[in-house]
Structure 1
Amino acid sequence: MKLIEKYFPNLLDQQIYRLSSLKNLYMYWNAYVNLVSRKTFHDFYQQHVLFCLGIAKVFYFYPGSCVLDLGTGGGFPGIPLSIIFPHTKFILVDSIRKKIKIIEKIIDNLHLKNVYPIWIRAEKLENKFDFVVTRAVNKIDIIHNWIKDKFKYKSNYKIINGTFYLKGGNLYDELKKFPHAIEYPLNHYFEEPFFITKKVVWISNI
């Protein structure tokens, strides 16, 4: 948790409490459903929480915005981001029902009022969103096809509505079809070696 406070020194007490509660909650529920890889659990705050909060380093979600967390899995990046942006609405979707059921319990425990988990496939969603966030769900072109019609027509931001992808490694092939994509290397924001190859990729919905 000290790692989170290092890079987000202006957190409110409630945000610190919620973020510091995450590891124990996931440790408990991971015994029932594999929400977080057990191989990476020892580095929970770096590899899961801080990595997801990389999006908060490159973008600020306005209060009242609606954000879709596509293929949320164990609730990442939606839950950490919802704590940082308590006045933004986060819709967490996944096709695996048992994961959504556990996420509901974690959200209740943290008393998060801006997070709504839904058991559904992304293609079947009828809602429209300002932004989408996603972490390593699939290749970018596949995800883009799933969500290309899920955005609100009007943007309340200076940028067009679109998607933030949390990615690692060489993305040259994945981004060939998206020449307008913007890459934000996370080692510009976080000094730990883990982030050398990690990026936030922004792609508008057009």
Structure 2
Amino acid sequence: MTDRSALQARLEQGIAALGLQLPAEAVPRLLDYQALLERWNAAYNLTAIRDPAEMVSRHLLDSLAILPYVQGQSLADLGTGPGLPGIPLAIAAPGREVLLVDSNGKKVRFLREAIRSLKLEGVRAVQSRVEEVQGQFDCITARAFASLADMLHWGGHLLAPQGQWLAMKGKAPDDELPGVPDGFSVRGIHALDVPGLGAAERHLVVLQRT
């Protein structure tokens, strides 16, 4: 078990390196989320990452790296798994309606417990396939969820007219760009420098309706 103060130092250094200003209570709540995920992971295998320090880098900071691109009053996180990036984003920038979507029952049970125990206001979890979700959202996030073509085919109906789709990828998905369906355009591809991930490549693809 890694000492919480060491995890806090790693998290705070990472947030500073990302140039983010978070609410005062964000860091302890992010660490509470990490501890809950670590505890549930022992029984439910929610993530392949087991090391707490790696969870800070690969889950918390990786999610927070896209915060500057998040906009609007509502966000849907598709294929959220154990709440990534949706829960860290909800903690870092409260006040937005957030819908966490996953088809895996174990993961959704964890999400509901996290929402309850962390008192995440405005955050809901739903067990559903993406194509069956209803509503429209100002911002949609999806982390290593599917190809750009599949993401937009399944979930494109959820993006509000002026909304922004944030697709989190490893290496730059140049081979996926020709598959972006009609009605959507790529507004930018941003290389993300996530503290603690070393040479691991991270990119964010920003899409909008045309």
Shift of 1:192: 4.2
- Cα deviation code 1:71-121 (max 9, x no counterpart): 111110100000011111110011111210111111111111121000111
SS at match of 1:131: strand
Pick aligned residue for 1:182 from 184, 188, 207: 188
Q: 1:123–1:146: 8 Å Cα contact kept in structure 2? A: yes
Say whether residues 1:96 and 2:107 are aligned partners: no
Pick aligned residue for 2:69 from 45, 49, 59: 59
Q: 1:175–1:181: 8 Å Cα contact kept in structure 2? A: no
Question: 1:102 and 1:193 mapped to 2: Cα distance?
Answer: 26
Return the letter of the residue paired with 2:205. V
- Cα deviation code 1:3-59 (max 9, x no counterpart): 332243533332121012122111111122121114565500101111111111x32
Query: Which residue does the alignment assign to 1:32?
Result: 43
- Cα deviation code 1:116-140 (max 9, x no counterpart): 0001111111211111101001111
Query: Which residue does the alignment assign to 2:148?
Result: 140
Query: Which residue does the alignment assign to 1:5?
Result: 12
Query: Which residue does the alignment assign to 1:46?
Result: 57
Q: Which moved more, 1:45-54 or 1:11-20?
A: 11-20
Shift of 1:165: 0.9
Q: 2:38–2:50: 8 Å Cα contact kept in structure 1? A: no
RMSD: 2.0
How many pairs align?
A: 195
Task: Return the TM-score normalized by structure 2.
Answer: 0.84
Shift of 1:194: 3.2
Report the CA distance shift for 1:25/1:138 in structure 2 as closer, same or farther (over 3 A).
Answer: same
Report the CA distance shift for 1:19/1:129 in structure 2 as closer, same or farther (over 3 A).
Answer: same
Pick aligned residue for 1:171 from 145, 170, 173: 173
Q: 1:87–1:114: 8 Å Cα contact kept in structure 2? A: yes
Question: 2:197 and 2:34 mapped to 1: Cα distance?
Answer: 21
Query: Which residue does the alignment assign to 1:202?
Result: 206
Q: 1:61–1:88: 8 Å Cα contact kept in structure 2? A: no
Return the letter of the residue paired with 2:69. F
Return the letter of the residue paired with 1:164. L
SS at match of 2:157: coil
Query: Which residue does the alignment assign to 1:80?
Result: 88
Q: 1:167–1:201: 8 Å Cα contact kept in structure 2? A: yes
SS at match of 2:42: coil
Pick the structure with more strand per residue: 2
